[in-house]
Copies of this chain bind each other. A is one copy, B any other.
Amino acid sequence: MPKQYFSLRNLKFTLHEVHESQEITQYPYFSHIDREAIDMILDSAIQIADNILAPVAIEMDREHMAHFHDGKVTVHPAVKKYIKAVGDAGLIASRAPLEVGGSQLPETLNVAIAFVMGAANNAITAYAGLSEGASNLILSFGSQYLKDTYLQKMYAGDWQGTMCLTEPQAGSSLHYITSSALPTDEAGKYKIKGQKIYITAGDHDQTDNVVHLYLARIDGAPAGTKGISLFVVPQKRVENGQFVPNDVKTIGIFHKMGQKGCPAVHIEAGNNDECYGWLLGEANKGLTYMFQMMNEARIGVGTTGACIASAAYYAALEYANERPQGQLLNVKGQDPNAPQTLIINHPDVKRMLMLQKAITEGSLSLIMQGAKYADLLHVSEGEDKEKYQLLLDFLTPVIKTYPTEAGIQSVSSSLQVFGGGGFCEDFPLEKLYRDIRITTIYEGTTGIQSLALLGRNITMKNGKAAMLFFQEVMKDIEASKTHEDLKKYANTLASKLAEVQRVTQHLVGFAMKGETERFLADATLYMEMFGIITIAWQWLKQATVAKNALLTQNPQGDDLQFYESKVHSMRFYFAYELPKTLGLAVRLLDDELLTIGVENTILV
């Protein structure tokens, strides 16, 4: 197994130097932690990752994958060890306030922890991640009874939380959910009936209970999204202090290509008319509540993309530094007896590795940027609060999409470095390649994210969110110009911003004419263009910080190499990746209609 799956130096650079954690911890809400505390919490997360997660990552994919037999779902026993460890470390309650026993950690730190753990073992992190998300919903909207019944058990890792959205006929379009809820005599208690699919961690043998956060329609509710309510539906309910089965049955498990260590199950609720759910918050507001979790969940998936790419990159880097093959092109043919060179010395291999590094570290920086907006939003008031909310909402689809779409390319490139070995179980690459493929699908596909970016966010509040975003980028462009040799890149990025604004105006023109379908037909390409430019922003920002350090800190040894590598990676990204916007802009500005107004029979 590879020795390394992430770079702590880079993680701390991103967290402290680029995104300045101290800006967050100076606020009273986060005053219980400082940079030193952040590093300590991170270190304890790394201990869990190194000692519990990484050693079982491969086993959980092969001999101990999640398994459904005789009505029972069994998973690797390390899951209990893991979920108890993160529970004990206060990481399931990471976002909960101190007053309810939470850790009240900034989102930036949560992202860093998720990145480390996911890089070690991306299939296991969903268990705690879902408990965290589900408990947060109960904390935000639940009655005192629900909070008292569920929160401490979930925080401790004794009970598993889940999110039950998708039904066989309702995936991307939750509008069509048909699970039903019938009121009972007891206020807030309903009889639940329906099926849910793709329920991650929806049933397993490593916690004592599973608590589903379940979307359903109360009898007589309006059609569409405005009639969906959110319920707490435990697998076992407590009645008179006793555990009672709650008629939630697992009827199947999905045989997934990757992330096999964590089950995705098909559940049936209320088949015997004995399933009860407790309404969370108000009726018919379920989707609104769920979407309050969505930013967090989508940033989580972006993080999964980036951390899998990180694990793949470090595996490839290690292999490239150890594997001899061939001779350098400038000596080839000169001496047939010359020894082979390490493959890292081949320019094409170096290019692939630099691509992986540029995608991985660029993605992490973008994710951290989003997390920082979430933190600033949390501690701000008034206009500032609105600003950070808009920036976070605006960027979330990009944070979900770039690290996953580019992450798939990055992992594929890591696999390629291994040659035939990359296709075989001898190395972890084939697993990581399978694992990451889901990330552009779950929590809203790339197509859905792209509609959100172009169809909603760009025009949100009359374009205010977009304006704020462009101001953020311009601010960093200006900051970079204090370095003479970054000016060239600053100007390139400014021209790319102008390019994407031109494209945006062109497309929004269709929206203004009411041609919604045409406006959004190529939203996915728009997303690709937007994502590439957004990452260029993050690279310029990182390079500026590195340049500052090189100028002011007189770094030596590893530190010197690190900062120089940052500047080099920025140059690589601008040279190899950023030019891709050119072709995208050509298509997006071209008015030839090819996917709308054509008969389906054009596809034969």
Chain A residues at the B interface, C-beta cutoff of 8 Å: 7, 9-10, 166, 169-173, 175-176, 197-198, 222-226, 254-258, 264, 317, 321, 324-330, 332, 336-337, 340, 344-351, 353-354, 357, 408, 412, 415-416, 419-420, 422-426, 430, 433-434, 437-438, 440-442, 445-447, 450-451, 455, 516-517, 520-525, 558, 561-562, 564-565, 568, 571-572, 575-576, 579-584, 586-587, 590, 592, 594-596, 598, 600-604
Cβ A440 vs Cβ B424 within 8 A: no
Given A226-B336, A565-B603, output 13 extra A-B contacts at Cβ < 8 Å.
Answer: A10-B604, A169-B324, A172-B325, A258-B423, A321-B600, A332-B516, A350-B600, A351-B521, A351-B594, A351-B595, A422-B441, A558-B604, A561-B601
CA distance A96 to B223 in the complex (A): 68
Cβ B257 vs Cβ A433 within 8 A: yes
The residues of B that contact A226 with a CB separation of less than 8 Å are 336
Cβ B602 vs Cβ A564 within 8 A: yes
User: B166, B350, B415, B561: which contacts A595 (Cβ < 8 A)?
Assistant: B350
The residues of B that contact A173 with a CB separation of less than 8 Å are 325-327, 340
Cβ A416 vs Cβ B442 within 8 A: no
Cβ A171 vs Cβ B564 within 8 A: no
- Whether A520 contacts B575 in the complex (CB less than 8 A), given A256-B424, A336-B226, A424-B255, comes out as no
The residues of B that contact A594 with a CB separation of less than 8 Å are 351, 354, 568, 571-572, 575-576
User: B166, B324, B412, B576: which contacts A437 (Cβ < 8 A)?
Assistant: B412
The residues of B that contact A222 with a CB separation of less than 8 Å are 336
- Whether A330 contacts B517 in the complex (CB less than 8 A), given A254-B424, A257-B434, comes out as yes
**CB nearest neighbor in B for A171:** B419
Cβ A579 vs Cβ B582 within 8 A: yes
What are the 4 closest A-B residue pairs judged by CB atoms, nearest first? A224-B336, A579-B583, A255-B425, A173-B326
Cβ B440 vs Cβ A416 within 8 A: yes
CA distance A586 to B578 in the complex (A): 10
Cβ A326 vs Cβ B568 within 8 A: no
Cβ B423 vs Cβ A602 within 8 A: no
Q: Give the interface centre of A166, A572, A594, A603 by most chain B CB atoms within 10 Å.
A: A603
Cβ B420 vs Cβ A441 within 8 A: yes
Copies in the assembly, this chain: 2
Instruction: Name 18 interchain pairs, CB-CB below 8 A, sorted by A.
Output: A171-B325, A172-B325, A255-B424, A257-B434, A328-B517, A330-B516, A348-B450, A348-B595, A350-B596, A350-B598, A351-B524, A351-B595, A353-B603, A412-B437, A420-B441, A434-B434, A568-B594, A571-B592
Cβ A441 vs Cβ B412 within 8 A: no
Cβ B424 vs Cβ A257 within 8 A: yes
**CB nearest neighbor in B for A333:** B224
Cβ B176 vs Cβ A568 within 8 A: no
CA distance A440 to B422 in the complex (A): 11
CA distance A340 to B169 in the complex (A): 9
Cβ B517 vs Cβ A596 within 8 A: no
The residues of B that contact A582 with a CB separation of less than 8 Å are 579, 582-583, 586
Nearest-neighbour CB distance to chain B for A466, whole angstroms, equals 20
Cβ B523 vs Cβ A348 within 8 A: yes
The residues of B that contact A598 with a CB separation of less than 8 Å are 350, 568
- Whether A438 contacts B423 in the complex (CB less than 8 A), given A336-B223, A351-B595, comes out as yes
CA distance A345 to B437 in the complex (A): 25
Cβ B561 vs Cβ A604 within 8 A: yes
Nearest-neighbour CB distance to chain B for A34, whole angstroms, equals 27
CA distance A579 to B581 in the complex (A): 10
User: B336, B340, B423, B455: which contacts A257 (Cβ < 8 A)?
Assistant: B423
**CB nearest neighbor in B for A313:** B603
**CB nearest neighbor in B for A353:** B603
